Chains A and B, each alone.
Chain A
Amino acid sequence: MTDEPLLRVSALSKFYGSRVGCEDVTFDLWPGEVLAVVGESGSGKTTLLNCLSTRLLPSSGTASYRMRDRQFRELYRMSEAERRFLMRTDWGFVHQNPADGLRMTVSAGANVGERLMAVGDRHYGKIRATAVDWLSRVEIDEDRIDDEPRAFSGGMRQRLQIARNLVTGPRLVFMDEPTGGLDVSVQARLLDLLRGLVTDLGLAAIVVTHDLAVARLLSQRMMVMKDGRVVESGLTDRVLDDPRAPYTQLLVSSILQV
Chain B
Amino acid sequence: MTAQPTDIATYNFAYLDEQTKRMIRRAILKGIAIPGYQVPFASREMPMPYGWGTGGVQVTASIIGPDDVLKVIDQGADDTTNAVSIRAFFKKVANVAVTTETAKATIIQTRHRIPEHPLSAGQVLVYQVPIPEPLRFLEPRETETRKMHALEEYGLIHVKLYEDIAKHGRIATTYAYPVKVEGRYVMDPSPTPKFDNPKMHRSPALQLFGAGREKRIYALPPFTDVVSLDFEDHPFEVQTFDQPCALCAAENVYLDEVILDDHGGHMFVCSDTDHCEKRREQGHRGHLAPEIPLALEKTEPAQ
Q: Return the contact of A117 from the options B151, B162, B165, B167 (Cβ within 8 A).
A: B162
Inter-chain CB contacts under 8 Å: number: 56
User: A118-B153, A122-B231 in contact; A127/B162 too (CB < 8 A)?
Assistant: yes
On whether A114 and B231 interact (CB within 8 A), knowing A80-B151, A103-B138, A146-B167, the answer reads no
Closest to B152 in A: A81
Q: Which of A109, A118, A125 contacts B155 (CB 8 A)?
A: A118
Contact across chains for B162 and A124 when beta carbons are under 8 A apart: yes
Bitwise, A112-134 to B at CB < 8 A (1) or not (0) is 01111111001111011000000
As a 0/1 sequence over residues 60 to 83 of chain A, the CB contacts with chain B under 8 angstroms (1 = contact) are 000000000000000000001100
B158 touches A115 (CB 8 A): no
Given contacts A103-B159, A110-B162, A114-B159, contact A123 B153 (CB under 8 A): no
For residue A238, CB closer than 8 A to chain B, the reply is: no
Interface flag for A244 (CB, 8 Å): no
Give the one of B159, B230, B233 with max A CB within 10 A. Answer: B159
Q: Measured between C-beta atoms, what is the minimum distance from A112 to chain B in Å?
A: 10
The residues of B that contact A81 with a CB separation of less than 8 Å are: 151
**Given the complex, which residues of A lie within 8 Å of B138, measured CB to CB?**
103, 106
Contact between A124 and B163, CB atoms less than 8 A apart? no
Looking across the interface, which residue of chain A has its beta carbon closest to that of B148? A84
A84-B153 contact, Cβ under 8 Å, with A107-B163, A146-B167: yes
Contact B159 A124 (CB under 8 A): no
Set of chain A residues within 8 Å of B156, measured between Cβ atoms: 114, 117-118
CB pair B155–A107 under 8 Å, yes or no, is: no
Question: Complex Cα distance A80/B148, Å?
Answer: 11
Bound together, the chains give a CA A181 to CA B163 distance in angstroms of 30
Query: Which residues on the B side are within 8 Å of A122 (C-beta)?
Result: 158, 230-232
Distance of A119 from chain B, by nearest CB (Å) = 7
- Taking the closest CB of chain B, its distance from the CB of A35, in whole angstroms, is 29
A116 / chain B contacts, CB cutoff of 8 Å:
155
- CB contacts (< 8 Å) of B155 on chain A: these are 88, 114-119
Closest-by-CB residue of A relative to B167 is A146
| CB within 8 Å for A110 and B232 given contacts A80-B151, A103-B138 | no
Chain A residues with Cβ below 8 Å from B232 are 122-124
* B contact residues, total (Cβ < 8 Å): 19
B281 CB, nearest partner CB in chain A, Å: 46
Contact of A117 with B166 at beta-carbon distance under 8 Å, contacts A123-B231, A124-B231, A125-B233 already known: no
The CA-CA distance from A146 to B156 in the complex, in Å, is 17
Cβ contacts under 8 Å, B151 to chain A: 80-81, 84
Q: Are B231 and A107 in contact (CB under 8 A)?
A: no
Contact check, A110 vs B233: say whether CB atoms are below 8 A apart.
Answer: no
- Specify which chain A residues have a CB less than 8 angstroms from the CB of B234 in the assembled complex: 124
Query: A187–B205 Cα gap in the complex (Å)?
Result: 61
Nearest CB of chain B from residue A124's CB, rounded to whole Å: 4
How distant is the Cα of A108 from the Cα of B245 in the complex, in angstroms? Answer: 42
The answer for the CA separation of A117 and B151 in the assembled complex, in Å, is 15
Q: In the complex, how many angstroms separate the beta carbon of A135 from the nearest chain B beta carbon?
A: 13
In the assembled complex, the CB of A169 is this many whole angstroms from the nearest CB of chain B, namely: 16
Contact status B231-A109, CB under 8 Å: no
Known: A84-B153, A124-B165. A106 touches B159 (CB 8 A): yes
In the complex, the answer to whether A124 meets B233 with C-beta atoms within 8 Å is yes
- Nearest residue (CB) in A for B165 is A124
Interface string of B91-107 (1 = CB under 8 A from A): 00000000000000000
CB distance from B295 to the nearest CB of A (A): 52
Cα of A124 to Cα of B232 in the assembled complex, Å? 7
* Closest B residue to A123 using CB positions: B232
| Residues in B neighbouring A103, C-beta threshold 8 A | 138, 159
Q: Mark B231-263, 1 if CB is under 8 A from A, else 0.
A: 111100000000000000000000000000000
> Do A110 and B231 touch (CB < 8 A)?
no
- For residue A128, which residues in chain B have a CB less than 8 angstroms away from its CB? 166
Query: CA of A5 to CA of B21 in the docked complex: distance in angstroms?
Result: 60
Cα distance A111–B138 in the bound complex, in angstroms: 12
Query: Could you tell me the distance in whole angstroms from the C-beta of B27 to the nearest C-beta in chain A?
Result: 26
| A113 B159 Cβ-Cβ under 8 A | yes
**B162 near A113 (CB under 8 angstroms)?**
yes
Residues B158-204 near A (CB distance < 8 A): 158-159, 162-163, 165-167
Chain B residues in 8 Å Cβ range of A109: 162, 166
- A125: chain B residues within 8 A (beta carbon): 233
Q: Tell me the complex Cα distance, A124–B165, Å.
A: 8
Q: Which residues of B contact A107 (CB under 8 A)?
A: 163, 166-167
Give me 14 A-to-B residue pairs in the complex whose CB atoms sit less than 8 angstroms apart, sorted by A's number.
Answer: A80-B151, A106-B163, A107-B166, A113-B162, A114-B156, A117-B156, A117-B158, A122-B231, A123-B232, A124-B165, A124-B232, A124-B233, A124-B234, A145-B166
Interface residues of A (CB under 8 A from B): 80-81, 84, 88, 103, 106-107, 109-110, 113-119, 122-125, 127-128, 145-146
B residues with a Cβ closer than 8 A to A are 138, 147, 151, 153-156, 158-159, 162-163, 165-167, 230-234
